[in-house]
Amino acid sequence: MKKITLASHNIKILFLSKIFGSIRFIAPVLTLFYFSRGLDEPQILFVMTFFSVGVLIGEIPTGIFADRFGAKASFLCGSLLGIGSHALLLAAYEPWIFFVSSALTGLAATFFSGADEALIYESLTLSNEQHRMDKAMGQIGSAAFLVSIIVVIIGAFLAKDLTNEQFQRLILLGVVFMSIEFIFLLFIKNPSKQGNYTDHVHSQVKEGFLAIKKNPQVLWMFMNVSLVFIPAAAIFEKFDQKLLVDAGLAVYLIGIVYAVSAFSGFVTSHAIGWMTGKISRVTLLFITGMLAVAALAAVAVFHAYLWVVLGMLLVLKVVNAIRYPVYSQLSNDIIPSNVRATTISLLSILDSGFDIIIFLSVSGMALSGFTPMFLACAAIALIGVMIPVLPKKESMQATPLKKHS
């Protein structure tokens, strides 16, 4: 990556902001926090469903917002909303408060969704480095893994007795560090091509749909990544704490396990550029997808064995660290720049729809135990892996679509 460019500046700022925004000391005991406040397995999946509802509601409006006003304004709005939604957990003693907090968190995430990819890709384009998008996204994503190495150990230790006072302290600490994230986001610089869309909102959304219609391979690769991510990350990570404890791991050791897995994710994220130099991106998506299927199936059958849960947790952490940056490169090579955030947001609506359908379906199976639930997750991931990924031909260039009235 070239130095002293807009891309290097924005990547550095996003990396630093993500470090502080990822400091959620409640994370290593979040599921246990849910149980301590009276939630059961189906209700926890409902919490996830409300997150997806928030995303579903916010994706198009926030994508339009980012294309019109730039990524910086979008990030700042999302950061403020995220701080408020996290603080709401302090008063969460009834299921509906968890649902509201989760929906607001999902809405906050949409201000970053699409806008971050648009910011980085357009910044890289200015220095003719757009082919390094996956490396840049891997570097930014590695911030969360880097933070986790420390945060999960501290969080698990501070909540070792699982008391209400300990949970409250962890939430407050999270609010403080998320506020520091907001300060860093003030230093983001929008590329000249971003945040300048002035046509009618209807035209903007129409152009986003036309971008997908003209390049359907973007839709297929998005479905491939989404259907693997939902069971292998969203669902698994909501229950890995319970799996670990049920398999015999002491609560205070959860932080150590998370730290090791976070370190593996951090190393993997920084090695994406090397991997894509050795293996094609399409092949990499297939291999990691099949690893996710195998890991989920193993957890379903052997979740009573601690070494299996530990091993599969590491495998899924590595898989998830690889797949999104690779997809980001493949998709942004195709999506036109003038409605990039809007188009990504339109795709994310599909992801939210999958979230809701899968979470509600799996929530019923959760009452029957982990085996049927994770077998269903493995089947869903397998369907995702089988969806073909067709990258842009090297000779083609992603150019803005003609405007339609």
352 exposed, middle or buried (CB, 10 Å; 0-12, 13-18, 19+)?
buried
Q: How many other C-beta atoms are found inside a 10 Å radius of the C-beta of residue 353?
A: 14
Amino acid 49: pLDDT: 83
Domains delineated in the chain: 6-190+200-386 (1.20.1250.20)
pLDDT surpassing 90 at residue 399: no
- Whose CA is closest to 48, among 354, 385, 348? 354
Residues contacting 16, CB < 8 A, separation 6+: 143, 184
- Whose CA is closest to 227, among 283, 296, 282, 289? 289
pLDDT surpassing 70 at residue 199: no
Amino acid 397: pLDDT: 39
Identify the band that residue 394 occupies on the pLDDT scale cut at 50, 70 and 90.
very low
Q: What is the mean pLDDT of residues 192-199?
A: 66
Amino acid 393: pLDDT: 60
258 three-state secondary structure: helix
- What does the pLDDT look like over 311-360, one tens digit per residue? 999 999 999 989 988 988 888 888 766 667 778 778 877 777 887 788 77
- Whose CA is closest to 329, among 386, 376, 276, 292? 276
Q: What is the mean pLDDT of residues 18-42?
A: 86
Identity of residue 258: Y
Amino acid 338: pLDDT: 63
CB 59 within 8 A of CB 373: no
Q: Give whole-number Cα distances, 157 to 6, 19, 27, 49, 174, in Å.
A: 40, 20, 12, 29, 15
CB 75 within 8 A of CB 115: yes
Residues contacting 170, CB < 8 A, separation 6+: 25, 26, 29, 155, 158, 159
d(CA 373, CA 354): 16
Q: What is the mean pLDDT of residues 150-155?
A: 81
Most confident among 79-83, 110-114, 216-220 (mean pLDDT): 79-83
Tokens read off for 104: 């607001």
- What does the pLDDT look like over 51-95, one tens digit per residue? 888 988 888 888 888 888 888 999 999 999 999 999 999 999 999
